[in-house]
Amino acid sequence: MNDPYKILNVPSTASDEEVKKAYRELARKYHPDNYHDSPLEDLAQEKMKEINEAYDTIMRMRGSGRGASSNPSGAYGRSASGYGGYGSYGAQTDPRFREIRAAITRGDLHMADHLLSILLEHNGEWYFLKGVICQRRGWLDEARRNYETACQLAPGNMEYAQALERLSSSAQSYRPEGYEVFTSGCGDNMCGRLACAYCLCNAVTCGGVRFFWC
Amino acid sequence: MFGYVQPAPDKLTAEEEQRYRALYCGLCHTLARRYGAVCRMVLNYDFTFLAALLSGTIGTENRRCIAGPFKKRPVACENPALDLAADVSILFTYWKLRDGAEDSRGVRCLGFQAAGAAMGRAYRRAAGLHPALDAAARRELERLSELEKAGCPSLDEPADTFAALLSSVAGEVEEPVRRRVLEHLLYHLGRWIYLVDALDDLKKDVESGNYNPISLRFSLKDGILTGQARDVVVSTLDASIRQMAAAYELWDFGVWSPIIRSTVYQGLYCVGNAVLEGTFRAAESRRGLRGKKEQV
């Protein structure tokens, strides 16, 4: 295994508190919620496993018996367990949709979309799965519309509500400290300072490019 | 590409900012070396960001430049990533001009045609080097023009054309994990650029009757985006930026990390906000003037 300190990006002289802090930051970064329905989910899962192992190794090496048994943050849990395919919902699922969920989990979006298209009855589950397929493809606006319809048709369903929440709220996702701007606006008018900063080789570029594009 | 992709200046140290400048100048020199001085014109921030994504470790050397001939500045050295970024710049700009010539009339159309013709040789060379990219550009622009003709009222479908095109650049990268990360990052970068550009042109397109997916998606009569429609556009732009940031975290971009980080966690949001508020173009022209004064 690689150097666990390097994985957590702390010096080997770091205090327990510093190690914990570094671990938490990384766990927030690679949290399953940030990669749900992303085609890169498996890569994030590997990262999460790596940092969990590094943290456990360090704690074990320091011999204080605070390894796997005492995770520093209940909130993030052994977060890797949060990763999972759609098969895991199989038990509560209408059998017709089970095959579609399996296809999505395999990454076979074409097949999943085809199977959906031949179903005539469009219920909440149908719209939810359509939304998942859209989201995997990066069609985020259509994904949101489908999730919204799913939630309207099946108001109490937590799975659909969570999918919609994850897609529409930017507040919960990871940001490094000090980055707080959104497209809708920003705290202390940092946006005002935007464009003036880079006056690179203006003579050639701004004139030239604007000439072409304006 | 349109110059929307910029890092956030206040998040970069002096050294990082200088590295960004060196990359920008390096791309400019590479364009001139490979395609002739006129092709420096296609240089913009979006392609510079692309170069940062594609580059590994790059050294710099001090060189003079036609924009500032009296002082030597650090410039990124020749390397395959800059070559690729330059080739992509030429290909995309050429196809964009072709597309512009088809969409416009009169003097504007002539302007596009003349610019396209001037780039003909450069384009043929770049297309010969990357036939797959050239085919993708042709295919996706055809798909886009079909959607435009049909008046497609979706945001995702037309955006998917440019997103898929930009994503195909990742196909030129060897390392499989890096390729996957870049495919996803570039897809959402392309989607974001397409939608921000549509937002930027909203009023103009509604007045001239040109195709605009945002106007069609929300049936806007006057080209003014308000209330719920505005929230939906903002939320979908934010969601694409989050996808880029999440992809960025899965690969070590080395010395270019600060530039990419400040772009995907702040720069894009700032530009999106400026476009939304209608202050982006104003800042651009102000900057153009200031740049010219500095030259004098």
**Residue B24 is assigned to a structural domain of this protein:** yes
Residue A195 is nearest to which of B156, B187, B287, comparing CB atoms?
Answer: B287
Model pLDDT, residue A212: 31
Given this model, what pLDDT does residue B283 score? 65
Nearest to A141 among B9, B236, B280 (CB): B236
Q: How many other CB atoms are there within 10 angstroms of residue B156's CB atom?
A: 24
- Residue B286, pLDDT score: 52
Contact pairs from chain A to chain B, CB under 8 Å: 207
Cβ of residue A173 closer than 8 Å to a chain B Cβ? yes
Number of domains in chain B: 1
Q: Is A157 exposed, middle or buried (0-12, 13-18, 19+ CB in 10 A)?
A: middle
pLDDT reported for residue B68:
65
Residue B9 lies inside a defined structural domain of this protein = no
Whether residue A197 and residue B238 make contact (CB cut-off 8 A), yes or no, is: no
C-alpha to C-alpha distance for B251 and B257, rounded to whole angstroms: 9
Query: The domain spanning residue B71 has which CATH number?
Result: 1.10.600
Sequence-separated (6 or more) residues with CB below 8 Å from residue A56: A67, A68
Of B24, B41, B241, the CB nearest to A200: B24
- Match 């420096």 to its residue by tokens: B40
pLDDT digits (tens, 9 = 90+) for B224-268: 888 889 999 999 999 999 999 999 999 999 889 999 999 999 999
> Residue B10: its chain A contacts at CB < 8 A?
190, 193, 197
Q: What is the DSSP letter of B67?
A: T
Instruction: Give the H or E element holding residue B75.
Output: strand B68-76
Confidence of residue B291 (pLDDT cuts 50, 70, 90): very low
Q: Residue B2: CA atoms inside 13 Å, Cβ hemisphere, count?
A: 23
Model confidence over B107-121: pLDDT tens digits?
A: 777 777 777 777 888
B6 within a domain of the structure (yes/no): no
- Looking at the domain assignment, is residue B223 inside a domain? yes
ipTM score for this prediction: 0.84
- Give the tens place of pLDDT for each residue, B3-19: 899 888 888 888 898 88
What residues of chain A, 149 to 168, have a C-beta less than 8 Å from chain B?
Answer: 167-168
pTM of the model: 0.87
Interface contact flag, B181 A40, Cβ < 8 Å: yes
Put simply, the answer to whether B9 touches A29 (Cβ < 8 Å) is no
Cβ contact (<8 Å) for B43 and A204?
yes
A141 interfacial to chain B (CB closer than 8 Å): yes
Chain B residues touching residue A83 (CB < 8 angstroms): none
Report the phi/psi class of residue B222: left, alpha or beta, with left for phi > 0 and alpha for psi in -120 to 50: alpha
* Minimal CA separation from A92 to chain B, in Å: 29
**Contact B24/A38, CB-based, under 8 Å?**
no
For A122-170, how does the pLDDT look when each residue is reduced to its tens digit (9 = 90+)?
899 999 999 999 999 999 999 999 999 999 999 989 999 989 988 887 6
- The C-alpha of A204 sits at a distance from chain B's nearest C-alpha, in angstroms, of 6
Determine, yes or no, domain membership for B291. no
Note whether residue B86 is domain-resident: yes
Q: Which residues span the domain enclosing B278? A: 14-284
A171 vs B: CB within 8 A: no
Which residue type is seen at B133?
L
User: What is residue A90's predicted lDDT score, i.e. its pLDDT?
Assistant: 43
Least confident piece of the model among A156-165, B189-198, B275-284: B275-284
- Within-domain flag for B113: yes
- Does residue B106 carry a pLDDT above 90? no
Q: Kindly give the parts of chain A with pLDDT less than 70.
A: 1, 64-93, 170-172, 186-214
Mutation target among B243, B264, B271, B279 for the A interface, most CBs of A within 10 A: B243
Distance CA A42, CA A54 (A): 18
User: What pLDDT score does B67 carry?
Assistant: 67
Question: Which chain A residue is nearest to residue B190, measuring alpha carbons?
Answer: A138
Q: Is residue B292 part of a domain?
A: no
